[in-house]
Amino acid sequence: MAQNSSRPSRIDRIDLSILTALFSQARISKVDMSEAVGISASRCYERMRRLEQAEIIRGYHADIDIARLASCLQFQVQIKLLNYTSARARQFEKTLLKIPEIVSCHGVLGHVDYVMTVVAATVERYQEVINELRSQSENEFDFVTFPISKAIKSHSHGDLKQIVGRLSREEPSSG
Protein backbone atom coordinates (compact mmCIF):
# COMPACT_ATOMS: atom_id res chain seq x y z
CA MET A 1 0.00 0.00 0.00
CA ALA A 2 1.41 3.40 -0.91
CA GLN A 3 2.09 5.64 2.03
CA ASN A 4 0.51 9.08 2.03
CA SER A 5 3.28 11.69 1.89
CA SER A 6 1.29 14.07 4.11
CA ARG A 7 0.88 11.46 6.85
CA PRO A 8 2.30 12.68 10.15
CA SER A 9 5.50 10.87 11.02
CA ARG A 10 4.18 10.22 14.51
CA ILE A 11 0.92 10.50 16.38
CA ASP A 12 1.62 11.88 19.84
CA ARG A 13 -0.62 11.88 22.92
CA ILE A 14 -2.13 15.27 21.99
CA ASP A 15 -3.07 14.04 18.50
CA LEU A 16 -4.55 10.91 20.06
CA SER A 17 -6.51 13.04 22.55
CA ILE A 18 -7.91 15.11 19.68
CA LEU A 19 -8.86 11.97 17.76
CA THR A 20 -10.42 10.41 20.85
CA ALA A 21 -12.56 13.50 21.44
CA LEU A 22 -13.73 13.51 17.82
CA PHE A 23 -14.31 9.75 17.83
CA SER A 24 -16.73 10.02 20.73
CA GLN A 25 -18.25 13.43 19.87
CA ALA A 26 -17.70 14.69 16.31
CA ARG A 27 -19.54 17.94 17.07
CA ILE A 28 -17.27 19.02 19.92
CA SER A 29 -16.33 22.68 19.58
CA LYS A 30 -12.69 23.58 19.07
CA VAL A 31 -12.79 25.56 22.32
CA ASP A 32 -14.13 22.58 24.29
CA MET A 33 -11.65 20.27 22.59
CA SER A 34 -8.72 22.58 23.30
CA GLU A 35 -9.72 22.65 26.99
CA ALA A 36 -10.00 18.84 27.07
CA VAL A 37 -6.66 18.38 25.28
CA GLY A 38 -4.80 21.16 27.08
CA ILE A 39 -3.64 23.29 24.14
CA SER A 40 -4.91 26.52 22.57
CA ALA A 41 -7.85 26.44 20.17
CA SER A 42 -5.67 27.67 17.29
CA ARG A 43 -3.03 24.98 17.93
CA CYS A 44 -5.78 22.38 18.22
CA TYR A 45 -7.18 23.52 14.85
CA GLU A 46 -3.71 23.29 13.24
CA ARG A 47 -3.32 19.73 14.47
CA MET A 48 -6.79 18.80 13.22
CA ARG A 49 -5.96 20.20 9.77
CA ARG A 50 -2.74 18.17 9.71
CA LEU A 51 -4.66 15.02 10.67
CA GLU A 52 -7.22 15.78 7.93
CA GLN A 53 -4.47 16.28 5.32
CA ALA A 54 -2.93 12.97 6.37
CA GLU A 55 -6.39 11.42 5.88
CA ILE A 56 -6.44 10.11 9.42
CA ILE A 57 -9.53 12.27 9.92
CA ARG A 58 -11.63 11.37 6.87
CA GLY A 59 -14.73 13.37 7.75
CA TYR A 60 -17.24 14.35 10.41
CA HIS A 61 -20.43 12.34 10.53
CA ALA A 62 -23.64 11.91 12.41
CA ASP A 63 -24.43 8.34 13.45
CA ILE A 64 -27.98 8.09 12.12
CA ASP A 65 -30.11 5.01 12.66
CA ILE A 66 -31.64 4.74 9.17
CA ALA A 67 -33.81 1.77 10.16
CA ARG A 68 -35.40 3.77 12.99
CA LEU A 69 -35.69 6.93 10.88
CA ALA A 70 -37.32 5.31 7.87
CA SER A 71 -38.76 2.15 9.42
CA CYS A 72 -36.90 -0.03 6.97
CA LEU A 73 -35.09 -3.34 6.81
CA GLN A 74 -31.32 -3.69 6.69
CA PHE A 75 -29.37 -6.45 4.99
CA GLN A 76 -25.72 -7.42 5.23
CA VAL A 77 -24.72 -8.86 1.85
CA GLN A 78 -21.61 -10.81 0.89
CA ILE A 79 -20.71 -10.48 -2.79
CA LYS A 80 -18.40 -12.78 -4.77
CA LEU A 81 -17.61 -11.53 -8.29
CA LEU A 82 -17.44 -14.32 -10.83
CA ASN A 83 -14.49 -14.16 -13.23
CA TYR A 84 -12.81 -11.51 -11.05
CA THR A 85 -10.46 -9.01 -12.66
CA SER A 86 -9.28 -5.63 -11.37
CA ALA A 87 -11.14 -3.87 -14.18
CA ARG A 88 -14.38 -5.71 -13.37
CA ALA A 89 -13.96 -4.90 -9.69
CA ARG A 90 -13.49 -1.17 -10.43
CA GLN A 91 -16.57 -1.17 -12.67
CA PHE A 92 -18.62 -2.98 -10.00
CA GLU A 93 -17.49 -0.46 -7.35
CA LYS A 94 -18.45 2.50 -9.57
CA THR A 95 -21.88 0.97 -10.09
CA LEU A 96 -22.65 0.30 -6.45
CA LEU A 97 -21.73 3.89 -5.56
CA LYS A 98 -24.71 5.01 -7.69
CA ILE A 99 -27.31 2.98 -5.77
CA PRO A 100 -28.48 4.96 -2.72
CA GLU A 101 -29.86 1.94 -0.83
CA ILE A 102 -26.33 0.53 -0.61
CA VAL A 103 -25.29 2.53 2.44
CA SER A 104 -21.88 0.95 3.01
CA CYS A 105 -19.52 -1.42 1.25
CA HIS A 106 -16.11 -2.83 2.07
CA GLY A 107 -13.72 -4.77 -0.12
CA VAL A 108 -12.59 -7.81 1.87
CA LEU A 109 -10.11 -10.65 1.63
CA GLY A 110 -11.17 -14.28 1.67
CA HIS A 111 -13.91 -16.23 -0.03
CA VAL A 112 -15.95 -13.13 -0.90
CA ASP A 113 -14.92 -9.84 -2.47
CA TYR A 114 -17.29 -7.35 -0.80
CA VAL A 115 -19.46 -6.97 2.27
CA MET A 116 -22.14 -4.33 1.93
CA THR A 117 -25.12 -3.02 3.85
CA VAL A 118 -28.38 -2.43 1.99
CA VAL A 119 -31.48 -0.71 3.34
CA ALA A 120 -34.92 -1.27 1.84
CA ALA A 121 -38.55 -0.76 2.82
CA THR A 122 -39.43 -4.36 1.99
CA VAL A 123 -37.79 -7.64 1.07
CA GLU A 124 -39.15 -7.14 -2.44
CA ARG A 125 -37.44 -3.75 -2.71
CA TYR A 126 -34.20 -5.32 -1.47
CA GLN A 127 -34.43 -7.86 -4.30
CA GLU A 128 -34.99 -5.01 -6.77
CA VAL A 129 -31.80 -3.33 -5.49
CA ILE A 130 -29.83 -6.53 -6.09
CA ASN A 131 -31.38 -6.85 -9.56
CA GLU A 132 -30.48 -3.22 -10.28
CA LEU A 133 -26.90 -3.91 -9.19
CA ARG A 134 -26.76 -6.98 -11.44
CA SER A 135 -28.10 -5.18 -14.51
CA GLN A 136 -26.06 -1.98 -14.11
CA SER A 137 -22.76 -3.54 -13.14
CA GLU A 138 -22.41 -5.89 -16.12
CA ASN A 139 -20.69 -8.27 -13.67
CA GLU A 140 -21.92 -11.67 -12.72
CA PHE A 141 -21.81 -12.30 -9.00
CA ASP A 142 -23.01 -14.62 -6.31
CA PHE A 143 -24.32 -13.21 -3.07
CA VAL A 144 -25.43 -14.26 0.39
CA THR A 145 -27.88 -12.12 2.33
CA PHE A 146 -28.11 -11.75 6.09
CA PRO A 147 -31.11 -9.71 7.31
CA ILE A 148 -29.96 -7.55 10.24
CA SER A 149 -32.14 -7.99 13.31
CA LYS A 150 -30.41 -5.47 15.61
CA ALA A 151 -27.30 -3.33 15.97
CA ILE A 152 -25.16 -4.37 18.90
CA LYS A 153 -22.00 -2.28 18.53
CA SER A 154 -20.69 0.24 16.04
CA HIS A 155 -17.20 1.71 15.77
CA SER A 156 -18.34 4.97 17.35
CA HIS A 157 -19.11 3.19 20.63
CA GLY A 158 -15.50 2.21 21.31
CA ASP A 159 -12.77 3.84 23.36
CA LEU A 160 -10.23 5.02 20.78
CA LYS A 161 -7.33 5.32 23.24
CA GLN A 162 -7.93 1.76 24.43
CA ILE A 163 -8.18 0.46 20.87
CA VAL A 164 -4.99 2.19 19.72
CA GLY A 165 -3.19 1.16 22.91
CA ARG A 166 -4.03 -2.48 22.36
CA LEU A 167 -3.06 -2.34 18.70
CA SER A 168 0.30 -0.72 19.42
CA ARG A 169 1.12 -3.40 22.04
CA GLU A 170 0.43 -6.29 19.67
CA GLU A 171 3.54 -8.01 18.46
CA PRO A 172 3.64 -9.95 15.19
CA SER A 173 3.68 -13.65 15.86
CA SER A 174 6.93 -15.40 15.08
CA GLY A 175 5.95 -18.25 12.83
Given a contact cutoff of 8 angstroms between Cβ atoms, the answer to whether 96 and 58 are in contact is no
Length of the chain as a residue count:
175
pLDDT digits (tens, 9 = 90+) for 123-146: 999 999 999 999 999 889 999 999
pLDDT at 2 over 60: no
Q: Give dist(CA 14, CA 160) in Å, integer.
A: 13
| pLDDT for position 30 | 85
Instruction: Go through 52-67 and write b for each residue having 16 or more CB atoms within 10 A of its CB, e for each that does not.
Output: eebebbeeeeeeeeee
List, as one string, the DSSP characters of 115-159: EEEEEESSHHHHHHHHHHHHHHH---EEEEEEE-------GGGS-
pLDDT tens digits for 48-85? 999 999 999 998 887 777 878 888 899 999 999 999 99
Residue 7 has pLDDT above 90, yes or no: no
Query: 81 - beta bridge partners?
Result: 141
pLDDT over 50 (residue 174): no
